[in-house]
Amino acid sequence: MKEFDIKPLDRSMQTAIQDKIDNLNKPKGSLGRLEELALQICMIQHTLEPSLAHPCHLLLGGDHGIEREGVSVSPREVTWQQMLNFTRGGGGVNMFCRQHGFKLRIVDVGVDYSLCPNPSPVGEGNIVGEGNIVFLDRKIARGTKNFLYEPAMTEEEYDRAILTGSDLVDDCIAEGCRVLSIGEMGIANTSPSSIWMHLFCNIPLKECIGAGAGLDNEGIRHKYEVLSRAIANCQLSTANCQPDEIIRYFGGFEMVAAIGAMLRAAEKHLIILVDGFIMTACALAASRLCPAVREYMILTHCGDESGHKRMLDAMGAKPLLHLGLRLGEGTGALCAFPIIDSAVRMVNEMNNFKNAKITKYF
């Protein structure tokens, strides 16, 4: 796997940053979470004047072999149908990217369909798009294998997915990006997310499984039975194996690419906005590979998927929003962006007591 050099946040400026925040013309601590966010963002960028320049959103798509076991109410073809919808600007993610000025990269990492009208060799795809939308063909394979019977991907495929995510971040950085959000599209990807949560957090599997796109109680029971068998059948000693082995055995191409993107973004001191059950599972997995990556993340939203709050708690995260969203696509991260923007504007634009000639009363 590609090596990432992710260092814990440099705290040498923490006192100076906190002093600037405390001396803004407001009661100390009166802007609550905005002050915490401002401190984190300033430390990520190692500056007293942070920037959210050129925000980018990665929407990563891939299909899952485990879908063949009936663990999702949505059929496999919804993945490619929605991916095409995104390229035409018609999805929820499109609306929020337009609203908040994010450049949207829609990336086929492993969709079981040829999305390019003139497909090129695997992993060397065409770039098409208009406005703030770019479509990229980075297909590794047409979906993962069924992890009920075998590893979802080979070591080579895993490495390529990590590198794909990393390279996508480099493309964003080349355009001046300082803040990155990531979303996903992949029918049945709550299944690997639940298994990662179970194995990485030591939480009973039953408490990690929810309705996904809309399973009823019988569907949830069936999903639990399938995932339990998959864990029992897997060719790993899950108590002793390395995190990357667990990630590779159960993960999806879009999920592993997201992990690669998170790791590279942290290495390059970008602010990483994390949304939703699947992306939180990816953030969890990334933190098992490199614990320091967690310091570069803002966990933006707690959804209604069963277990999401437990996973956030296990990561020590305080999400900014709880809107009941369960769409995926990174929509919660995009909805939270104005709050993050307010934190940055606070530290950059508010006057201080001295300049405003206001008596400092604390």
Q: How far apart are CA 204 and CA 340, in angstroms?
A: 34
Q: 352 forms bridges with which residues in the sheet?
A: 24
In the Cβ-directed half-sphere of 308, how many Cα atoms lie within 13 Å?
Answer: 28
Structure tokens at 33: 């979470």
Q: How far apart are CA 180 and CA 273, in angstroms?
A: 6
155, 157, 329, 349: which one is catalytic? 329
Look up 77 and say whether it is catalytic.
Answer: no
Strands 127-128 and 133-137: antiparallel
Residue 213 in contact with residue 75, Cβ under 8 Å? Answer: no
Q: How far apart are CA 142 and CA 114, in angstroms?
A: 9
Q: How far apart are CA 135 and CA 76, in angstroms?
A: 20
Strands 127-128 and 56-62: unpaired
Structure tokens at 108: 């086929």
Residue 205 in contact with residue 224, Cβ under 8 Å? Answer: yes
In the Cβ-directed half-sphere of 347, how many Cα atoms lie within 13 Å?
Answer: 31
Residues assigned a catalytic role:
329
